[in-house]
């Protein structure tokens, strides 16, 4: 009789520390929900969430600074602790720290952005009771922490099943968070259902693709797949089908056309504070995973996958820009802007060169930071009803007329974020666009670069239109003036949002005016990565 000896499992705890800190804090936060009295929960949850994400970011920075050139595989080869993973984890931690500040903010009356009880039926007696009792839903903090943990795993995963699990760990909390808005709850629940059904559909595609790739190569590990893909002479159709299905799943998360249908609805319906967090961090995480998968598969499948990626990139830029031009709602406008930006980043990804990789990494960080700031501004412009009660965000473009005269500081910040999205010089958006389009021209993908330039020129119109509405349109009539308020004209919050806006504004400007040091940082990371391939 032989004793079943478990094989030695080696896990590099220190290299995985950023993820472990966040997921550990998420578990603790769940326990806090269960055991800490309701009045004290918020006081515990907010510092716990902020500190754990900050700590994870610092550890990731420390690891990134000491990272050697070689790719370090961790957890039995399921995760990579290479410069790219650490950089993206750092970017996700930074953006989610700012996002958490916005999420944790509330008005001085004690109302945050979330329904007091998400399970209560809107406009029911129970909801009214809960609202009057002043309950707040602190479950959002563990949910956000789980999502951040999944996001940090996503770009580090080098195994298709790890990739799938972290995709779900990041998605499931987001589906719930989307449906928890305090105001306009029907819209929020509808967005949640749409996001869930389409997201689950996309992960089913991803999974089926993973099964076929496994069938074609006999492994789920991306590095082994990379080797066996490039050694196959005749292309196996099974492999191509699998790779395309995997890309469909990832492109959905990125919000690329034709898998973008969820983006505007979810961005509009979700609580604005969640939209900001989700828009920034999901994009970084999903592009990280996409980069890893593409760089593993494209060398062998160049002729099959490149046309797909080119088509998607061009469609994404064009559709995002053209449909964005006719939007009347600021949140939806930013959603289409997010789609267009996904296309711009795809240009850098598709360039498949050192410059392309470095440009995409730079783009992801700067875009994430500006996005959190922009949605932070959006969350401060609110409606009030005739009794003076604060309502949801005023997102109609009409309601923003003359905001620049009534609340110049806020409108000024928003204008700078919009200029960054538009890619105007002296903002980080310009440097990022320059980097990815330059990479496209440099690597023989000039067509992509030209479409990208044309689209950013067209997109500048709709950003300019918002700026025009805010600063140059006639001041609003009495009705709008009374029902739309912002900081300094009615909205008073604890100030967390303002801190987040200030930090992201500072980063947007600093990375726009003196981008050199950061660009050389991402270039160095990318060259380390390219060496190891």
Partner 1 sequence: MTVSAYLILASILFTIGAVTVLVRRNAIIVFMGIELMLNAANLAFLTFSRMWGDLTGQLAAFFVMVVAAAEVVVGLAIIVSLFRTRRTVSVDDENLMRH
Q: Which residues bind partner 1 (CB under 8 A)?
A: 118-119, 121-122, 160-161, 164-165, 168, 172, 175-176, 179, 185-187, 189-194, 196-197, 200-201, 204-205, 207-208, 210-212, 214-215, 218-220, 264-265, 268-269, 323, 332
We find the least distance from the C-beta atom of residue 157 to partner 1, in angstroms, to be 12
**CB-nearer residue toward partner 1: 325 or 426:** 325
Counted residue by residue, the chain has a size of 533
Task: Return d(Cα 204, Cα 212) in angstroms, integer.
Answer: 13
Task: Return d(Cα 298, Cα 351) in angstroms, integer.
Answer: 11
We find the least distance from the C-beta atom of residue 326 to partner 1, in angstroms, to be 8
Task: Return d(Cα 259, Cα 205) in angstroms, integer.
Answer: 12
Report helix, strand or coil for 392. Answer: strand
Residue 145 near residue 50, CB atoms below 8 Å: no
Tokens of 149: 């943990």
In the chain, the N- to C-terminal Cα span, in Å, equals 45
**CB-nearer residue toward partner 1: 57 or 264:** 264
b/e burial code for range 115-124 (CB count within 10 A of at least 16 → b): bbbbebeeee
We find the least distance from the C-beta atom of residue 250 to partner 1, in angstroms, to be 16
We find the least distance from the C-beta atom of residue 382 to partner 1, in angstroms, to be 20
Task: Return d(Cα 328, Cα 317) in angstroms, integer.
Answer: 20
b/e burial code for range 19-53 (CB count within 10 A of at least 16 → b): bbbbbebbebbbebbeebeeeebbebbbebbbebb
Q: What are the E-state strand segments in 347-445?
A: 382-384, 390-393
We find the least distance from the C-beta atom of residue 46 to partner 1, in angstroms, to be 24
**CB-nearer residue toward partner 1: 208 or 310:** 208
We find the least distance from the C-beta atom of residue 7 to partner 1, in angstroms, to be 12
**CB-nearer residue toward partner 1: 76 or 483:** 76
Residue 13 near residue 59, CB atoms below 8 Å: no
Nearest alpha carbon to residue 340 among 511, 458, 198, 171: 458
Nearest alpha carbon to residue 419 among 358, 447, 460: 460
**CB-nearer residue toward partner 1: 32 or 202:** 202
We find the least distance from the C-beta atom of residue 458 to partner 1, in angstroms, to be 18
Nearest alpha carbon to residue 102 among 90, 92, 114, 89: 114
Residue 214 Cα distances to 159, 208, 519, angstroms? 11, 10, 37
Instruction: Encode 179-223 in three state secondary structure.
Output: CCECCCHHHHHHHHHHHHHHHHHHHHHHHHHHHHHHHHHCCCEHH
We find the least distance from the C-beta atom of residue 169 to partner 1, in angstroms, to be 9
We find the least distance from the C-beta atom of residue 511 to partner 1, in angstroms, to be 33
We find the least distance from the C-beta atom of residue 380 to partner 1, in angstroms, to be 22
């Amino acid at each position: 009789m032989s004793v079943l000896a478990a094989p030695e499992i080696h896990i590099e705890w220190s290299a995985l520390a950023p993820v472990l800190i966040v997921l550990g804090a998420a578990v603790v936060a769940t326990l806090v929900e269960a055991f800490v009295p309701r009045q004290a929960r918020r006081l515990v949850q907010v510092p716990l969430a902020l500190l754990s994400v900050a700590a994870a970011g610092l550890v990731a920075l420390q690891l990134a600074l000491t990272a050697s050139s070689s790719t370090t595989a961790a957890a039995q080869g399921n995760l990579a602790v290479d410069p790219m993973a650490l950089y993206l984890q750092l970017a996700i931690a930074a953006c989610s720290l700012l996002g958490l500040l916005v999420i944790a903010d509330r008005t001085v009356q004690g109302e945050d952005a979330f329904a007091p009880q998400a399970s209560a039926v809107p406009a029911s007696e129970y909801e009214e009771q809960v609202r009057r009792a002043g309950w707040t839903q602190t479950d959002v903090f563990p949910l956000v922490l789980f999502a951040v943990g999944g996001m940090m795993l996503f770009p580090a995963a080098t195994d298709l099943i790890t990739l799938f699990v972290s995709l779900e760990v990041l998605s499931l909390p987001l589906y719930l968070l989307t449906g928890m808005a305090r105001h306009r709850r029907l819209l929020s629940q509808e967005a949640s259902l749409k996001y869930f059904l389409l997201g689950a559909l996309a992960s089913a595609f991803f999974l089926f693709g993973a099964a076929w790739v496994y069938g074609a190569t006999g492994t789920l590990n991306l590095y082994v797949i990379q080797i066996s893909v490039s050694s196959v002479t005749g292309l196996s159709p099974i492999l191509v089908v699998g790779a395309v299905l995997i890309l469909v799943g990832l492109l959905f998360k990125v919000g690329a056309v034709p898998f973008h249908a969820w983006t505007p609805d979810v961005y509009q319906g979700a609580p604005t504070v969640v939209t900001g967090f989700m828009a920034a961090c999901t994009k970084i995480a999903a592009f990280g995973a996409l980069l890893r998968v593409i760089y593993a598969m494209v060398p062998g499948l160049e002729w099959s996958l490149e046309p797909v990626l080119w088509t998607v990139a061009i469609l994404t830029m064009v559709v995002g820009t053209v449909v964005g031009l006719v939007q009347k709602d600021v949140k939806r406008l930013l959603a289409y802007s997010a789609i267009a930006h996904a296309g711009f980043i795809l240009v850098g990804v598709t360039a498949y060169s050192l410059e392309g990789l470095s440009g995409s990494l730079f783009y992801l960080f700067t875009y994430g930071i500006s996005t959190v700031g922009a949605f932070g501004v959006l969350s401060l412009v609110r409606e009030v009803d005739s009794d003076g009660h604060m309502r949801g965000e005023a997102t109609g473009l009409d309601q923003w007329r003359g905001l620049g005269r009534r609340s110049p500081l806020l409108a000024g910040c928003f204008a700078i974020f919009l200029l960054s999205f538009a890619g105007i010089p002296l903002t980080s958006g310009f440097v990022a666009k320059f980097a990815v389009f330059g990479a496209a021209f440099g690597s023989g993908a000039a067509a992509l670069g030209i479409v990208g330039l044309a689209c950013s020129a067209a997109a500048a119109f709709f950003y300019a239109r918002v700026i025009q509405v805010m600063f140059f349109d006639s001041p609003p009539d009495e009705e709008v003036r009374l029902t739309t308020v912002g900081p300094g004209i009615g909205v008073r919050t604890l100030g967390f949002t303002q801190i987040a806006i200030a930090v992201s504004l500072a980063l947007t400007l600093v990375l726009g005016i003196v981008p050199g040091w950061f660009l050389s940082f991402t270039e160095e990371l990318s060259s380390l990565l390219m060496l190891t391939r």
